[in-house]
Amino acid sequence: MKKRVKQYAQQMEVGTQDRRHVLKDFSRMLDNQIEKTVLFILEQQGQLASRLTNLREQHDALEETPEISQITELREAYRAVGQDLLKLLCFVEMNAIGLRKILKKFDKRFRYRFTDYYVKTRANHPYSQLQQVFKHVGLGAVVGAISRNLHELQDRQGSYLSIYDPPALPLQDPVVDSINAAVDRLSHSTNFLNFLAQHALIMQEELPAPTDERIDDERYHFMSLLLNLANTFLYMVNTYIIVPTADDYSMSLGAAATVCGIVIGAMAVAQVFSSVYFSAWSNRSYFRPLVFSSIVLFVGNTMYALAYDMSSLTVLILGRLCCGLGSARAVNRRYISDCVPLKIRMQASAGFVSASALGMACGPALAGILQTNFKIYKLTFNANTLPGWVMAVAWLVYLVWLWISFKEPSRDIEEPPASNSETVENVALEEGKQPLLITSEEKQEDDEDPEGDGSEEAPEESRKPATSIVSAYRLLTPSVKVQLLIYFMLKYAMEILLSESSVITTYYFSWSTSTVSIFLACLGLTVLPVNIVVGSYISNMFEDRQILLASEIMVCIGILLSFHMIIPYTIPQYVCSGLIMFVSAEVLEGVNLSLLSRVMSSRLSRGTYNGGLLSTEAGTIARVIADATITLAGYLGESLLLNITLLPSFLICVASIVATCFTYNSLY
């Protein structure tokens, strides 16, 4: 079909075919291919059903005269049917992926949203075969028959309960676990939810072992997941709630307005170190790091609020350092990666990103609301101190909720016994190493491989996590290093825009704190809509590397438009250029992290020095440098602050564009 698409393009170039004929012919060909696939699936289901019927007759005969040897043979026969069903599920998955890719290639080649048209017209039509592929209708009955019969053949020590009686009896069989894992993979969403989940860069093995999935089910606790997402939300609120008032707070303590760079950046400085020890701590516990994080953030915000009455800039900065030492985002990511079942991990990852985006918008908005001034005894409550007091109370309430509701996941779980041959065969099927329709010599290299370098790790090495930052760095390919540079660049540019917004708008436009808060909140509210558009539409029209390069160029344009040249600096120029820069950076971040989640080594999916930690450190270091740049540039005067801070952003952006072009040209 890829060859046929190429032929269509050539025919349209020479004028022998028109667009309408191409669309009609391609639709008919696609319908025929899907119908052929579905009929083959139904044929295989029929054969499996016939085998299960024969085995059911043998099973009924054994009820009258049970023999251990015959029961063992019957159990192995059911497992053999399960192995064939697993191959069929892999076949369905392969065709679903192939269908999505050929639709994407057609859209890209002809600049036409054929995917939207095709799915919309066939999704709910009574005669369409599309549902059979994506909803795998009928396979559930075969899965249920195999599971129920294997359950009945287990030694239940005289129990008369069936698989349907509550509480549900656990069925520990490697074949059934493999089938359930394959069904979960096949059920994954592919558009916005998947894009948003990858935006979180929660590293995980591409195809986890079935036993890992059983462990995840036993570890999973909904309230604990909710507490992790609440921690993510509150931390992001804590990060951005002080941005609109940091310059005023600094001046009230006798410092320059640009010292707000140090005040804001102190949290990021501490986060560079806290990310490492929280990541290591999460190897042993999740509850204790979250408790420690809440206590430290409570203390840090209290110090931040008390600094006003103590007239101490040192206490103010130490309070923000304390807040950074309580950054448990590494624990939040790790909990989702290790303790949430695969079937809902994508939703949990998307929730992580959504909680971060919501916190980023709520922080400045909350600062805009807290515009009051009063005293209780010797404590002052005003626009500068209230963010600290409000967050201190919030973390105290969260700590109580955490202590009552969090459930520490178990780490000592016995794995079900399985023979070596069964384990090897199941893992091979899980990883797609046993071909279904083609031999390994005939396997073609995927031209949409995001990394494209054909590199492959040895199987025994691919399971070992990195043991240090140095060993983790050695696992990074050139394309991954470039993507980390891009991540550094966009975080630097966004931090410059956000952190100096209060100083710049006050100097040029005399904006009040409420106006700055509204501007920053509006920027934060663009995060989710932008990701919806990119994940649902743009990513279906263009390849990720094309979106990556276009977004970098748009960020560069936004930075150029932000410079103050000869003409007077105006509000429309600042708002429009800031919006272009921020939205483009959000698009760039989503696509960049989506690529990173697919091309990073599997050895960076677990352990202390994982892919999430590397990306967090790159972004945090960028924020630290950006905030330091604001403070240092402030010594040259507020009139030069804007251009001096934008210049490094522009140079880093240009360097990342050059690196992207060079790296991807060499790979593709």
Residue 575, Cβ density class (10 Å: 0-12 exposed, 13-18 middle, ≥19 buried): middle
Neighbours of 380 (CB within 10 A): 17
Give the model's pLDDT for residue 458. 44
Residue 520, CB-side half-sphere exposure with 13 Å CA sphere = 35
Give the model's pLDDT for residue 398. 96
Picking from 464, 231, 222, the residue whose alpha carbon sits closest to that of residue 330 is: 231
Which of the 8 DSSP states describes residue 440? G
Helices H, strands E: what count in the chain?
A: 28, 2
DSSP H or E segment with residue 87: helix 68-110
Structural domains for the chain: 1-158+172-200 (1.20.1050), 222-408+472-663 (1.20.1250.20)
> In sequence order, which ranges of 408-477 are alpha helices (DSSP H)?
420-430, 469-474
Question: What share of residues in the chain are helix, strand, coil (percent, to 5)?
Answer: 75, 0, 25
Neighbours of 31 (CB within 10 A): 16
Q: Is pTM beyond 0.85 here?
A: no
Which residues, listed in sequence order, are joined to residue 68 by a DSSP beta bridge?
none
Distance CA 537, CA 359 (A): 25
Q: SS3 for 658?
A: helix
Which of the 8 DSSP states describes residue 536? I
Give the model's pLDDT for residue 190. 40
Instruction: Locate 16 and state its tokens.
Output: 């022998």
Picking from 535, 528, 605, the residue whose alpha carbon sits closest to that of residue 194 is: 535
Picking from 508, 527, 614, the residue whose alpha carbon sits closest to that of residue 570 is: 508
Q: What angle do CA 603, 608, 614 make, to 5 degrees?
A: 75
Task: Give the model confidence (pLDDT) of 438-475 as tens digits.
Answer: 333 333 434 444 433 444 444 444 456 677 777 777 77
Q: Which amino acid is at 86?
A: L
Give the model's pLDDT for residue 237. 93
Picking from 266, 283, 384, the residue whose alpha carbon sits closest to that of residue 323 is: 266
Residues of the chain with pLDDT under 70: 111-113, 116, 119-120, 122-141, 154-177, 179-219, 342-343, 346, 411-465, 535-536, 539-540, 594, 597-608, 611, 664-668
**Do 72 and 155 form a contact (C-beta atoms < 8 A)?**
no
Task: Give the model confidence (pLDDT) of 262-279 as tens digits.
Answer: 999 999 899 888 888 888
Residue 453, CB-side half-sphere exposure with 13 Å CA sphere = 15
Neighbours of 87 (CB within 10 A): 14
Q: Which residues contact 146 (CB under 8 A, 6 or more apart)?
A: 52, 78, 81, 82, 85, 175, 176, 179
